[in-house]
């Protein structure tokens, strides 16, 4: 749950006006917001409030934290409505480049039969980026080639 609390704190810092700005967007005092974020005296942020905070901060910190706490990964999908087959081709090229980076880093990291903390973080970051690209390709493909329900 530390990741979720951390996401709430990061959303407050990311909001214009910081914590005070976030409190104002949520219609509460700064003290009330702090009490909920830090779970003082049994107070807590509801999911709907966390989603509103995420929207106000213009981030995806809460979604990312929930995904991580659940053993998963949050992937923001492209929102552009006007996509074409050329976009998918470009996404494939980028995905292959990321796969190459991942493979090269994996070889470097495992060459000595031990993966350090730094190497683990780097591999995790590259794997996340690669996974994100694969899902972006799927999303774009479905937008272009799937028949929409009437």
User: Which two three-digit tokens encode residue 11?
Assistant: 């959303």
What percentage of the chain carries pLDDT values higher than 70? 93
Span 5-55, pLDDT tens digits: 999 999 999 999 999 999 999 999 999 999 999 999 999 999 999 999 999
Q: Which residue has the tokens 């704190």?
A: 9
Distances in Å between the Cα of 103 and the Cα atoms of 92, 116, 126, 147 are 16, 16, 9, 36
Give pLDDT, residue 16: 94
Higher pLDDT, 72 or 36: 36
The pTM for the full model equals: 0.69
Distance CA(26)–CA(28), nearest Å, equals 6
């Amino acid at each position: 749950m530390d990741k979720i609390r951390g996401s709430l704190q990061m959303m407050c810092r990311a909001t214009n006006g910081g914590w005070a700005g976030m409190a104002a967007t949520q219609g509460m005092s700064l003290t009330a917001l702090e009490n909920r974020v830090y779970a003082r005296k049994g107070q807590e942020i509801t999911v709907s409030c966390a989603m509103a905070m995420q929207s106000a901060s213009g981030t995806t910190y809460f979604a990312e934290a929930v995904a991580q706490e659940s053993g998963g990964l949050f992937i923001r999908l492209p929102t552009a409505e006007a996509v074409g087959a050329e976009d998918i081709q470009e996404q494939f090229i980028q995905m292959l480049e990321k796969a190459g980076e991942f493979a090269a880093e994996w070889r470097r990291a495992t060459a000595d039969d031990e993966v350090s903390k730094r190497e683990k973080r780097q591999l995790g970051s590259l794997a996340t980026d690669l996974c994100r690209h694969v899902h972006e390709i799927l999303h774009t493909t479905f937008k272009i080639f799937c028949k929409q329900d009437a």
